[in-house]
Amino acid sequence: MALRYLTAGESHGPALVGILEGLPAGVPVDRAVLDHELARRRLGHGRSPRMSFEVDRLDLLGGVRHGLTIGSPVAVVIHNTEWPKWAGVMGVDAPSDPVGVAASGRGAPLTRPRPGHADLVGMQKYDLDDARTILERASARETATRVALGYFARALLVELGARIVSHVVRIGEVAVPDDAPAPGPDDLDAVDADPVRCFDAGSSARMQERIDRAKSERDTLGGVVEVAVHGLPPGLGSHVHWDRKLDTRLAAALMSIQAFKGVEVGDGFRSAERPGSRAHDEILLDGDHRLARATGRAGGLEGGTTTGEVLRVRGAMKPLSSLTRPLATVDVATGEPAEAIQQRSDVCAVPRAGIVAEAVVALTVADALLEKTGGDSLGEVRRNLEAYRATAARPRAGAGRTWR
């Protein structure tokens, strides 16, 4: 692995922390763009009131000097602006008045785990009698750190000619038609301007209506987001080991996002319905006499390796488990049937999930690219990539090989 990252922190702790190791020196860093990326994570029709007062205040503590990465680990801290309200409940040191903390609204033990959340299994695994300790780390608030770290991977990819765009293709039962145009690499602002980050206006209107209906029914909705990466070379990833396959790594990255329950590469499950004659991408020579694919059914990946076409993956997000109409559970303190605890929640978090998906895809693809090119500086990586691009996509005869 060329690019590694780690996050730490709890939803209502003092801060979230992230470290990214392996980024080459010389990648431009724009704080305004980084702040914008974090703000994008707050987008979307159906968000909870928390988004109106939870501001991501980020500090860069290492790995950047004078607007450029320097080759050392990048360290970020995202401060929790609500921390003063939670210091007694989430403090590191034992409280001086535990009875008073427990008696407070925020400090009361949470003993009614939510179905579909990490509450119960976490309490069982770590031998705890309060779900607070579990849900604080399991919260999707952690994704703010991954969006911040993903910015650096994305900045590297942009410098090397690759661009990422995500969009929502389904919310609940409302799906974008198969023949609707997909956004290109220049359409990201247009996608973000839509209330549900859907590129198809008619589908967007129906999705918003569906979210409003779910809110009136005190329910939540899931959906599907698609991420596309334009401008990648062929040859990222490998077929030689299961854990070097790029589709394996992308699936793991997307499934690591809270509430994601399924991943599809290219046409994915739809390909299973087709005969082979209509399931694969025929190979041809384009106008520049370079190898290309006639279609994009495989999603830009064959044999766990990029083909040089648009990389396209989808992730399915389940409805959130925090409902204002709570589901049945058991109070683990009494052993009696109960209603699950209620926490502030979105009706639908699918629009913002696309931003997180962009981040983890950027981190995964940047890792595969650095694995292929090597290089300690942006200039070295660029030279290595340009040399590889010059030959990789052209037919090559001789030495017993007809094609490369």
Range among 13-27, 289-303, 333-347 with highest mean pLDDT value: 13-27
CA distances from 111 to 120, 126, 287 (A): 9, 14, 65
Output the average pLDDT for the chain. 92
Q: Is the pLDDT of residue 402 over 50?
A: no
More confident residue, 18 or 390: 18
Question: Tens of pLDDT along 332-343?
Answer: 999 999 999 887
pLDDT at 294 over 90: yes
Q: So what's the architecture of 113-390 in CATH?
A: 4-Layer Sandwich (3.60)
Q: Tell me, what amino acid is at 58?
A: L
- pLDDT at residue 396 is higher than 70: no
Q: Which residues pair with 18 in a beta bridge?
A: 7, 76
SS3 letters for the chain? CCCEEEEECCCCCCEEEEEEECCCECCECCHHHHHHHHHHCCCCCCCCHHHHCCCEEEEEEECEECCEECCCCEEEEEEECCHHHHHHHHCCCCCCCHHHHHHCCCCCCCCCCCCCCCHHHHHHHHCCCCCHHHHHHHCHHHHHHHHHHHHHHHHHHHHCCCEEEEEEEEECCEECCCCCCCCCCCCHHHHHHCCCCCCCHHHHHHHHHHHHHHHHCCCCECEEEEEEEECCCEEEECCCCHHHCHHHHHHHHHHCCCCEEEEEECCHHHHCCCCHHHCCCCEEECCCCCEEECCCCCCCEECCEEECCCEEEEEEECCCCCCCCCCEEEECCCCEEEECCCCCCCCECHHHHHHHHHHHHHHHHHHHHHHHHCCCEHHHHHHHHHHHHHHHCCCCCECCECCC
99 within 8 A of 116, measured Cβ to Cβ:
no
For residue 100, is pLDDT > 90?
no
Domain ranges of the chain: 113-390
CB within 8 Å of 60: residues ≥ 6 apart: 29, 31, 74, 75, 76
* pLDDT score recorded for residue 399: 46
Percent of the chain with pLDDT over 70: 95
Task: Using alpha carbons, select from 319, 328, 333 the residue that is nearest to residue 131.
Answer: 333
Q: b/e per residue, 274-290, with b = 16+ CB within 10 A? A: eeeeebebeeeeeeeee
∠ CA 78-52-93, rounded to 5°: 45
**Predicted confidence band at 401 (pLDDT cuts at 50, 70, 90)?**
very low
- Tokens encoding 128: 């705890």
Residue 403 has pLDDT above 50, yes or no: no
Q: In the structure, what pLDDT confidence band is assigned to residue 54 with cuts at 50, 70 and 90?
A: low
Q: What is the pLDDT of residue 345?
A: 73
Across 25-53, average pLDDT: 83
**Rounded Cα gap, residues 327 and 112, in angstroms:** 10
CB-based contact 101:87 (threshold 8 Å): no
Which token pair is 10? 């709890």
CA atoms within 13 A on the CB side of 360: 26
Q: Rounded to whole angstroms, how far apart are CA atoms 315 and 206? A: 20
For 257-285, write each residue's pLDDT tens digit. Answer: 999 999 999 999 999 999 999 999 999 98
**67-81, 94-108, 245-259, 388-402: the lowest-pLDDT one:** 388-402
- What is residue 210's predicted lDDT score, i.e. its pLDDT? 97
Please say if the pLDDT value at position 52 is more than 70.
no
Tokens standing for 174?
Answer: 């409302």
Tokens representing residue 126 in the block: 């770590």
Tell me the CA end-to-end span of the chain in Å, nearest whole number. Answer: 25
Give 167-209 pLDDT, tens digit per residue. Answer: 999 999 999 999 999 999 999 999 999 999 999 999 999 999 9
**207-232: average pLDDT:** 97
Q: Tokens in use for 19?
A: 């470290």
